Structure 1
């Protein structure tokens, strides 16, 4: 039985994106072609890089923290309308407006029919996997972030699933992956890791990815850098950005990204498709021909060190993995 999972990277619906939403309505954030592109997927996961709340206050335990992202409750309905099934909250913005807003986020997503993973009311909930059932198969998803440690859920304190990855992957995460694999047909691990605005995975990210695959992850899904990285059969090192209002680096062009579709047969990824997209004035659309060519060139270069060869199918970039 083949299963296709759609994946999108950093999804920031606060600040300028929230203003754009309030002025222009729910259809203003994503072009219809984006919804069409993910329609064939059995499951759609994103990294939600903001809280969804009308409450809370900016988090003050991290001196000098420059950015605080909060989206209105309507944002959850926008994601649901796009077809999002699950949202990773394990990142450095889930607690931007404190524990109250984090719990509001989980509640808003639940009300919209979207499952949250990677943050919660206590350490147990933050670290817990979620399991989706599709086509009679069980798809397990775990999430973690390697920063900031101040956001970590501890005991009965709300927060994120923090994992210090600098030296090794902590046992709670590898053991959790092994246990999840025993009870599911497909095991996905989504991780917010490494520094921002780098064009390739850093050393500890590469090592952590290998350890998670060894523990039983069928696919490791990374995000944080705001630019897409190269990938292997079982590791998407960084998905890049999906929607935001961030300053655009003229070299890295973090406004140009990819929407990912990975097809599995059993525990094996058999195909990876990457659809070029562009963030244009707080709105995500398909890339135009010039942008498409630039994205293809960059992805080719990013994949070369991993031996991954991309095929251009005209509307998307494609790898069919050999047996």
Structure 2
């Protein structure tokens, strides 16, 4: 906010986790791009009522390329071009592409992803045609408030953009937080600064040591909100750090203990002083379709989220089926 201008109104930022639109979801997208075929009315209404919607797009969007796999991983995710239209009609304003699937089908497919999303009016962070563009933030505006968004990932190094090659914004967080990352965060303007980080291993119930250390460094550098993903299950919240958003839509096998088919949509209230309140709404991921959780599922989610937050020193309140957290205290 500049001197002499009226304070920005509070806005609602909707955050969703890993959004995998390949494989079985892609097969459905070949037939329909109607968001109603992928998300129930309750999920769609949450996005419609939010001022800004951002998620982690864990696939490329292209009909070109071939599997590129320097790490010999078992999974490669590619969605057809109409996926961009579906996301736009769902109400998505921006996505982060900084993750370990952005280059699953090579450089051409990543460049297509950027083009298809841009044509649909969706902003991107965390990947680009070269190093500078991969690290370029996006500035989102709503209700007179400006939100600077940066996307980075701590794996894999083979996907890192260079001065001459497309790729992702890569930061080796296991050995410490690089100066490039902290200085970039420190240089971001706007009323609020969101850093989206794809960090840590899959299928963990809580943030690992280097993730917690990195979160503190990012907040110290000037991030007013940190939203993580990679574990495929939601983690707890500590101050302005949402350690893992979990999954949003996919066709994955379900772990019977961690229940990666049960998750949350995170609604953050922001004003010119930063994030103030979190309202988390329980969701359930069926095969290639996501819906509001039923009462039994919501009870499991509520118990797990409250326990995960308690381990980080955060209190969770339940209000009419929504889980709320005060985001104003400092992280850990």
Report the TM-score when normalising by structure 2: 0.94
Question: Can you list the C-alpha shifts for 1:282-322, whole angstroms capped at 9, x where unaligned?
Answer: 10000001100000011011111112111111231112356
Task: Find the partner of 1:307 among 302, 307, 313.
Answer: 313
What are the Cα deviations for residues 227-252 of structure 1, in whole angstroms up to 9, with x where unaligned? 00000221000000000011100000
2:6 counterpart residue number: none
Aligned: 1:317 with 2:326: no
CA contact (8 A) 2:63 2:109 kept: yes
Deviation, structure 1 residue 23: 4.0
Aligned residue number for residue 51 of structure 1? 60
Counterpart check, 1:152 vs 2:149: no
Q: Which of 19, 30, 43 is the equivalent residue of 1:22?
A: 30
By how many angstroms is 1:39 displaced? 2.0
SS of residue in 1 equivalent to 2:238: coil
Distance 1:60 1:315 in 2: 43
Deviations 1:41-72 (A, max 9, x none): 2111000000000001100322x211100000
1:172 corresponds to? 180
Match of 1:120 in 2: 128
**Aligned counterpart, 1:83:** 91
TM-score (norm 1): 0.97
Structure 1 unaligned residues grouped into runs of 5+: none
Q: Which residue of 1 aligns with 2:249?
A: 243
**In the alignment, what sits opposite 1:212?**
218
Q: Would you say the 8 A contact 1:209–1:220 is kept in 2?
A: yes
Q: CA RMSD in A?
A: 1.2
**Residue 167 (structure 1) shift:** 2.0
Q: C-alpha separation between the residues in 2 aligned to 1:21 and 1:295?
A: 29
Structure 2 counterparts to residues 141-290 of structure 1, below 5 A = 141-180=149-188, 183-290=189-296
Deviations 1:121-172 (A, max 9, x none): 0000001111112222221000100000000001121000000001211111
* Structure 2: gaps of 5 or more residues: 1-8
C-alpha separation in 2, matches of 1:190 and 1:320 = 20
Inter-CA distance 281–216: structure 2 relative to 1 (3 Å threshold): same
Residue aligned with 2:14, SS: strand
Taking the aligned partners of 1:176 and 1:42, their CA distance within structure 2 comes to 26
